[in-house]
Amino acid sequence: MSRYQPPLSLTLPMLGLVAEISEQIGRLSALHAATLTPQLRRGNRIRTIQASLAIENNTLSVEQVTAVLEGKRVLGLPREIQEVRNAFAAYEAMPDWRPSSRADVLAAHRLLMLGLIDDAGQFRRGGVGIYRGDKLVHMAPPPSRVATLIDDLLAWLEVTELHPLIASCVFHYEFEFIHPFADGNGRMGRLWQTLILSQWRPVLAWLPVESVICEQQEAYYAALLAADQQAQATPFVEFMLQALQQALLNAEQTDQVTDQVTDQVSSHVIRLLEALKGSTGLKTAELMPLLRLTHRATFRSNYLSPALTAGLVEMTDPLSPRSPVQKYRLTAQGLNCLGMSKT
């Protein structure tokens, strides 16, 4: 048995969430056995990366992250572009790692922080405090204790009999409490929780729970602070279970939309593709009259966004996604959808 037992009080809300989430995962696993296409997996992975980095103040949008990963030039800070490339490499390597391996923790950090800090893949050698504004909210353990604390936590993870949903949340909190690295601890904690969950249920490797955390960022930090103040992981575990539940609900709703994709492509999206056929690119103001639309929001939500998400249409200037002179054109996939070949 591990020498270490993270302090935790099991609560009725916590147990209720575990039961509800387990049911959601069962439904999602059954659906995704047939519908989780490589394109959908990649889309979820991009959303995961963009949200996890946004929590750390990376300003790149989902469209810009997509462009980076497609090898296109993006107008952004070099550091932020490097963070995207590193995160994608780390998540892609995730299936090869063992959650309880110290060597794999260090390897993951090395990938995440390559070219961003000098000591990527090494535990910190100095003290660190966590601030919110000018206020110190957490003083991490001294560097001399980091390796021992991480080893104890990993040993506990290997033998714990807690439900994987709870154990993954506990690990996430304890990892943030130890703060083993000079930088990158938040994205590492989220990555490692995903790894733990994916080894329990593979479909969770593609669940963008980071998007929910990003939307509820203040509550995320408040849960970490509450756990520190109570000297146990309980408040953070409850928050993370709620975030997982919401992410699964979002995924179920996405599946309902996916079930309607055929209808969408045969109506709204196909009409957009037909309007773009034969052009080198058209602006929104040019497309809407062709589609007999006057409401810009309807055009974006029902026509343009689904076509972009499906990879049937692309921007002519992805470096400036919000440019007022942005144009849209068919991709090779869009041409194929119309039964044409790209010349």
Q: Is 190 known as a binding-site position?
A: yes
Q: Which two tokens stand for residue 263?
A: 């209808």
Q: Is 110 known as a binding-site position?
A: no
Distance CA 207, CA 247 (A): 7
Point out the catalytic residue in the list 163, 179, 268, 295.
Answer: 179
Q: Is 315 helix (H, G, I), strand (E, B) or coil?
A: strand
79: burial class by Cβ within 10 Å (0-12, 13-18, 19+)?
Answer: exposed
Query: Mind giving me the DSSP string for 108-151?
Result: HHHHHHTTTSTTTTS---S--EEEETTEEEEEPPPHHHHHHHHH
Distance CA 192, CA 14 (A): 21
Q: Which two tokens stand for residue 242?
A: 């709620």
Q: Is 185 known as a binding-site position?
A: yes
Q: Is 91 known as a binding-site position?
A: no
Residues in a beta bridge with 129: 139
Distance CA 333, CA 316 (A): 15
Q: Is 189 known as a binding-site position?
A: yes
Distance CA 280, CA 278 (A): 7
Q: Is 183 known as a binding-site position?
A: yes
Task: Determine the distance from the C-alpha atom of residue 143 to the mean position of all C-alpha atoms in its chain, rounded to a whole number.
Answer: 29
Q: Is 220 known as a binding-site position?
A: yes
To the query of whether residue 179 is one of the catalytic residues in this protein, the response is yes
Q: Is 296 known as a binding-site position?
A: no
Catalytic residues, by residue number, are 179
Binding residue numbers for ATP: 183-190, 220-221
Binding residues: 183-190, 220-221
